[in-house]
Every structure is written in structure tokens, then in C-alpha cells.
Amino acid sequence: GIGLRDKHLVSKDWLDAEKFPYAEFQLTAIKNSSSKSLETGKKVKATFVGKFSVHGVTKEVEAPGELTYFKESDKTKAKAPGNLLVARANFAVKLSDYGVTIPSMVVGKLSEDVDISVDFVASDANGGGNPCGTCNPCAAKKDNGKCNPCAMKDKNKKESPCAVKDNQCSPCAPKKK
């Protein structure tokens, strides 16, 4: 990045990263897929529905994207254990919709629309390859998020799952024997 620009972007005048340290996308549904099944290496177009949060504001968004499934192999094990699902999506947001105001000194020089890219890899592996064992680290609702490193802030705990000693799923904790 560009140092001075990055410093300005996270300042209180823009994104106020001290108060709102995260931008998050929570996937809630996948619809309009171009195929009803997944085949290894074949891309499937779909619409991702989710909640995008930035600057303390959360809004539902729909984004066109694609899914690609990879059956576990020696090649995929180099990335992560288990069968893998790669998801990619892109969407645009308007800064003012999220309470972000462009400072007057740069109005007209910057677009109010920001392009967002979401890329992730999911695995069906559990145990040794998954820091949460059989827990779901992405959406653990049935256990009140105790095993969700991303939900630590919801529990009024420290933001880093590595800094919470009683977090049974801390990716930084030694593996249980």
C-alpha cells in the first residue's frame, strides 16, 4: 500500500479503524447456482447472499460469484486437509451507505463506490487440520460461539482468539493429545 494514504484511510476521519477494526462478510446463503452438483475442478456460477459490515454498519448484499470443489488429493493437502470448496465473489458498496464520509479535501478525486472482493477456501476436515476439531469455526451458533474464533468480540473477550486462554479452539493453542 501507500503509507500516507493507508494512514489516512484508517484514521478517525475515514474508516476509524481503532473503533471499527474489522470489515466482515458473513455468507448466509448461496442461490441461483448454475449446477445442482459440484464436480472436482469445475466452476459453478452462483449468487452469494450475505451480511457485509464496515464502520459499524451491517447491510445485506448479493454478489455474483463462483464455487469450485476439489476432492482431497496430495495436491490439495498442500493447501489444507479434506475436500476443499473455493469461493470467490465481487460486489460494490457505497461508502455513505456505511456511514463513511469522504473528507472535503478529496471529494471529486475519490469514488464513493468501493469494489470488494471476497475469496475463501473451506474444508470439511476436522481434528488435527482444523483448530476447532469438530466445531464449526465459521458459524458456531449451537455452542454460542465458544468455538468460533471470529465470534470472540461477541463474547466481550479480547479480539484475538490467541489471547484468550479459555478458548478451546484457539489456533495458537497446543494441540490436544
Kindly report, residue by residue over 113-130, the tens digit of the pLDDT: 989 999 989 898 864 444
* Over residues 88-103, mean pLDDT: 90
Domain spans of the chain, in order of start: 3-123, 126-171
What pLDDT shows up at residue 157? 45
Domain 3-123: CATH superfamily is Lipid/polyisoprenoid-binding, YceI-like (2.40.128.110)
Residue in the block written with cell 473455493:
86
10 pLDDT tier (thresholds 50, 70, 90): confident
